[in-house]
Amino acid sequence: MVLRGEAFMKTFNIKKIVISVVIALAVLVVGASSLHAVPAGHTGVVTRFGAVDDTVLSEGLHVVIPFVTRVVDMNNQVTKAEVVSASASKDLQTVNSTVALNYRIESLSAASVYQNIGVNYENVVVIPAIQEAVKSVMAQYTAEELITLRQTVGAEIQEEISSKLTPYGFSTQSVNIVDFQFSEEFNAAIEAKQTAQQNALKAEQDLARVKVEAEQKIAEAQAEAESYRLKSQEITDQMLKMEFIDKWDGKLPVVVSDGQSLFNIDSILDSAASSAGSTSDSASSTTE
């Protein structure tokens, strides 16, 4: 009897320990289920028995009702969606464009987005909105304008996307046109046009250079002619003076001033040269 009693007590103690452990584990599970931590940059959308509650949870640790309340964390951080879209320009050129959209979900709209769209909102709403906006805007510009007015085109695409996503609770931060791809024929035409423009610019620059060089040569010729004229004039004057000296009879004019004779040989030579020059000119005129 004593042995049976001891065996019963041992069995009872083991069961007691097992039950205690099970209860402790259950308490831990329930306790853990009653706490939810919303990550930074997220909004916790609360559902009760599957229905979305109007109450949303901010960042941090919150107490919820286990097995009744479920929290879905919706990302409010800026997210990038990049789309490759094929469209036609105004002049019917095929354009493959890569467009990147930076967007986010407004915190106050997190519950509405989850309820009406779900967690796959990017594929359901965002990407189709980008594709539609790109096609709509591209059709308003020629292929060449898409290149030259790239910034304007990007701004219009963002405006078009915003008009589509804002009603759902999304905020568009920026749109970047990452790349434009055109047909090989269009690229060849653009390259040929650029080459022609470069050749025309080079020809214009060459013409301007030739004009400047010609003006420089004219200026040099004029300066050389003027120098030659001055030298010729100087030589002519000297020759006239020499001719006068050869013909001079040695007599000097006398000027009396205060009882003294004065004369200036330079003035006499200059006067004689002038006279000789005049005589030469008269003779030439008579001969003609």
Q: Among 72-76, 117-121, 181-185, 262-266, which stretch is predicted with the lowest mean pLDDT?
A: 262-266
* Residue 79 to residue 217: CA distance in whole angstroms: 68
Token duo for residue 269: 């030579």
CATH number at 83 reads 3.30.479.30
Token duo for residue 107: 């915190």
| E-strand stretches of 146-193 | 170-181
Residues 6+ apart with CB under 8 A from 234: none
- Is a pLDDT exceeding 90 seen at residue 155? yes
- What is the tally of structural domains in the chain? 3
Last residue of a domain, one of 27, 51, 72: 72
Last residue of a domain, one of 72, 107, 133: 72
> Strand pairing of 60-63 and 51-57?
unpaired
Q: Is residue 190 part of a domain?
A: no
Judgement on whether residues 83 and 177 belong to the same structural domain of the protein? yes
pLDDT (tens digit per residue) in 63-121? 887 878 889 999 999 999 999 999 999 988 889 999 999 999 999 999 999 999 999 99
Q: Which of 174, 50, 159, 66 is nearest to 115 (CA)?
A: 50
Confidence of residue 282 (pLDDT cuts 50, 70, 90): very low
Which letter, b or e, does each residue of 173-209 get, where b requires 16 or more Cβ atoms within 10 Å of its Cβ?
eebebeebebeeebeeeeeeeeeeeeeeeeeeeeeee
Q: Is residue 122 part of a domain?
A: yes
Q: Is residue 106 part of a domain?
A: yes
Please compute the mean of the pLDDT values over residues 206-223 and round it to a whole number.
83
* Residue 218 to residue 210: CA distance in whole angstroms: 12
pLDDT (tens digit per residue) in 120-150? 999 999 999 999 999 999 999 998 899 899 9
- Is a pLDDT exceeding 80 seen at residue 284? no
- Is a pLDDT exceeding 50 seen at residue 281? no
Judgement on whether residues 167 and 239 belong to the same structural domain of the protein? no
Query: Mean pLDDT across the chain, nearest whole number?
Result: 79
* Residue 274 to residue 153: CA distance in whole angstroms: 84
Judgement on whether residues 85 and 178 belong to the same structural domain of the protein? yes
Judgement on whether residues 169 and 121 belong to the same structural domain of the protein? yes
Judgement on whether residues 41 and 117 belong to the same structural domain of the protein? no
Please tell me what DSSP assigns to residue 59: S
Q: Is residue 231 part of a domain?
A: yes
Judgement on whether residues 207 and 132 belong to the same structural domain of the protein? no
Last residue of a domain, one of 39, 72, 105: 72
Q: Give the domain extent around 162.
A: 79-182
